[in-house]
Copies of this chain bind each other. A is one copy, B any other.
Amino acid sequence: MTDTDTNGLPERRRGSGVKMVYDLLRDEILDLVLPPGSPIDEAQLAERFKMSRTPIREALVRLAGEGLIDTLPNRSTMVSNIDFLNMHTYFDALVLMYRVTTRLAAEHHRAEDLQVIRAHQAAFAAAVEAQDALAMIATNAAFHSAIAEAGRNPYFTGLFKRLLDEGRRILRLYYQSYDDRLPRRFVDEHEAMIAVIAARDLGAADRLAKAHGEQIVDQIRKLFSRDRRLDIEL
């Protein structure tokens, strides 16, 4: 037993509490452990983490800043809803960021970036092989996130990462369908993207990213119209 006191609770260093609460709550929201609409009770969290409401509050303010929770003034705060009606705006933004970040990666990447990207791609391929849908979602996001980092534009990577996070919530609703033959196609497309990035072919990077993104959007649209009979306008 390391780093724990007699109560079995980890000894927290001053200042680490907010980050812990923030990270955990964030994960629980994105993994739908806390589904949209779930009420968030400060006092309850304070008791759960054995700390005062002050650091809890700070974590909540940060989550609200990212739009992951909604706070009604003087009243309850809850996990923000996924806006299915305006989903097309999400897809538009996602595809554009796929394109821009991949193109910039082809332009600005360094040798060490490719190693990181290839490592994430290997992890994604392993998740596909293992048919682990949750791992697919996570490693796929990490793969594209690494590409964005190689593009070296913090404004784009910032927006893109937020979109990928939001995507975690959407995909997790439908990850069941991931046990068909689509994931292997994604693996191949990822390989092709790595190749054009390495070759610094900006045009091809843009084209591949566009096709890749639109295919994912198409797949999600199909899921929606099949499972929910919702016609998402694109």
Contact = CB atoms under 8 A, between A and B. Distances in A.
A96 interface: yes
A90 interface: yes
A62 interface: yes
A65 interface: yes
Interface of A: 14-15, 54, 57-58, 61-62, 65-66, 73-74, 86, 89-90, 92-93, 96, 100, 104, 152-156, 158-159, 162-163
Given A14-B74, A73-B15, A74-B14, A93 B61 contact: no
Q: Oligomeric state, in number of copies?
A: 2
Given A61-B61, A61-B62, A65-B62, A74 B155 contact: no
Contact of A57 (B58, B65, B104): B58
Contacts of A152: 86, 89
A155 B58 contact: no
A15 B198 CA distance: 53
Nearest to A157: B89
Chain A interface, DSSP helix/strand/loop, else mixed:
helix
A93 B156 contact: yes
Contacts of A58: 57-58, 61
Closest 3 CB pairs of A and B: A65-B65, A93-B155, A89-B153
Given A61-B61, A61-B65, A155-B159, 8 more contacts: A14-B74, A58-B58, A58-B61, A62-B65, A86-B152, A89-B152, A90-B155, A158-B159
A162 B163 CA distance: 16
A219 to B, nearest CB: 20
A229 B181 CA distance: 57
Contacts of A96: 100
